[in-house]
C-alpha cells in the first residue's frame, strides 16, 4: 500500500508538470502579428540545449517574432 501511495505521489510531483508542459507546447499559438521561429528553435536544439529548456522558452514566447 505504501508503494502505491509513493508512486501516486511521484506521478503528481513529476508526471503532471511534464504533461502540462507538453500540452501547453503542443497547443500554444503566438499572439496576432507574430509567428514562431522554428529555425531558431531547431538551432538551439542542435547546439545542445535540452528539449525541456526549448519548450519552456517557447511557452514563454521566446521564439515569437513579428511577421
Question: pLDDT at position 43, please?
Answer: 97
What average pLDDT values come out for the chain (67 residues) when binned by 10 residues?
A: 93 93 92 95 96 94 94
- What pTM did the predictor assign? 0.79
Q: Which residues of 45-55 are buried (b: 16+ CB within 10 A; e: fewer)?
A: eeeeeeeeebb
Residue extents of the structural domains in the chain = 2-66
Amino acid at each position: 500500500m505504501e508503494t502505491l501511495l509513493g508512486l501516486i505521489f511521484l506521478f503528481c510531483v513529476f508526471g503532471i508538470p511534464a504533461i502540462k508542459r507538453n500540452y501547453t507546447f503542443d497547443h500554444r499559438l503566438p499572439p496576432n502579428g507574430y509567428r514562431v521561429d522554428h529555425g531558431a528553435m531547431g538551432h538551439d536544439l542542435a547546439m545542445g540545449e535540452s528539449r525541456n529548456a526549448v519548450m519552456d522558452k517557447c511557452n514563454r514566447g521566446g521564439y515569437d517574432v513579428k511577421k
